[in-house]
């Protein structure tokens, strides 16, 4: 195994110095996701205003891959129009599901290209996706027709 292909410098940096960590107000939706295999968890909040991802904040415990990928996520999506951010998420998902067979689009993914090596380790793909899937769900809720979103988010909080 090329261990370096997994633990790229960028990943270790984000792991040791995570960006966007800590739950913040205000937010429109909060979700809680779990990796059933290992129990890693993330609680993630999204604030959307005028079609822009205004803020993403999170808290949780997990391995270097899950922590770093959530940190990179916040860098990439905060400040972007929702549609653009969703495109980034989709590209990241495609890369993770590629089993190493896809060349990542550096234009879109920026720092997240460092995770290309993870796609060769199926058991770690879930780690890399933990924060991203949480963000996707939270954003869906935050942008759902008014009334519906707040309710779902509130239910989720009640369950968390």
Partner 1 sequence: MTTGLDVEAVRKDFPILQRRVHDDRPLVYLDSANTSQKPRAVLDALAGHYELHNANIHRAQHVLAEEATAAYEGGRDKVAALINAPSRDELIFTKNASEALNLVANTLAWRSPYQVGPGDEIVITEMEHHSNIVPWQLLAERTGATLRWFGITDDGRLDLSNIDELITERTKVVSLVLVSNTLGTLNPVAAIAARAHEVGALVVADACQAVPQMPVDVTALGVDFLAFTGHKMCGPTGIGGLWGRREVLEQLPPFLGGGEMIETVRMTGSTYAPLPYKFEAGTMPIAEAVGLGAAVDYLTGIGLDAIAAHEREITSYALDQLHGVPGLRIVGPDTPVDRGGAVSFTLAGIHPHDVAQVLDSVGVAVRAGHHCARPVCDRFGIQATTRASFYLYTTRDEVDALVRGLDEVKRVFA
Of the listed pieces 20-28, 61-69, 132-140, 148-156, which binds partner 1 according to CB under 8 A?
61-69
Closer CB to partner 1, residue 88 or residue 119?
119
Per the DSSP assignment, residues forming a β-bridge with 151 are: none
Are the C-beta atoms of 122 and 140 separated by less than 8 Å? Answer: no
- For residue 56, the minimal CB distance to partner 1 (Å) is 22
**What's the rounded Cα separation, in Å, for the pair 112 and 92?**
7
DSSP alpha helices (H): ranges in the chain?
Answer: 3-6, 9-16, 64-77, 82-96, 106-109, 122-142, 148-159
Closer CB to partner 1, residue 38 or residue 144?
38
Q: Does 137 bind partner 1 (CB under 8 A)?
A: no
Which residue of 14, 47, 124, 136 would you call a contact of partner 1, by CB under 8 A? 124
Which residue of 14, 30, 31, 40 would you call a contact of partner 1, by CB under 8 A? 40
Of the listed pieces 104-112, 117-125, 132-140, 149-157, which binds partner 1 according to CB under 8 A?
117-125
For residue 82, give both structure tokens: 């929702």
Which residue of 6, 53, 96, 112 would you call a contact of partner 1, by CB under 8 A? 6
Closer CB to partner 1, residue 38 or residue 152?
38
Residue with token string 């909060």: 30
What letter does residue 65 receive in the DSSP assignment?
H
- For residue 16, the minimal CB distance to partner 1 (Å) is 9
Question: Residues with Cβ < 8 Å from 119, sequence gap 6 or more?
Answer: 95, 96, 97, 98, 99, 100, 102, 125
Task: List residues near partner 1 by CB under 8 A.
Answer: 1, 3, 6-7, 12, 34, 36-41, 61-65, 121-124, 127
């Amino acid at each position: 195994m090329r261990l370096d292909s997994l633990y790229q410098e960028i990943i270790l940096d984000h792991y040791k110095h995570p960006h966007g960590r800590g739950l913040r107000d205000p937010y429109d939706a909060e979700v809680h996701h779990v990796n059933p295999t290992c129990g890693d968890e993330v609680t993630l909040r999204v604030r959307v205003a005028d079609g822009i991802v205004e803020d993403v904040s999170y808290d949780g415990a997990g391995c270097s891959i899950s922590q770093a990928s959530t940190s990179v996520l916040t860098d990439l999506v905060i400040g972007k129009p929702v549609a653009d951010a969703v495109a980034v998420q989709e590209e990241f998902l495609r890369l993770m599901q590629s089993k190493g067979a896809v060349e990542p689009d550096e234009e879109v993914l920026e720092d997240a290209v460092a995770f290309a090596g993870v796609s060769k380790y199926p058991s770690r793909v879930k780690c890399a996706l933990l924060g991203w899937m949480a963000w996707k769900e939270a954003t869906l809720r935050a942008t759902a027709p008014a009334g519906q979103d707040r309710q779902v988010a509130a239910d989720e909080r009640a369950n968390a």
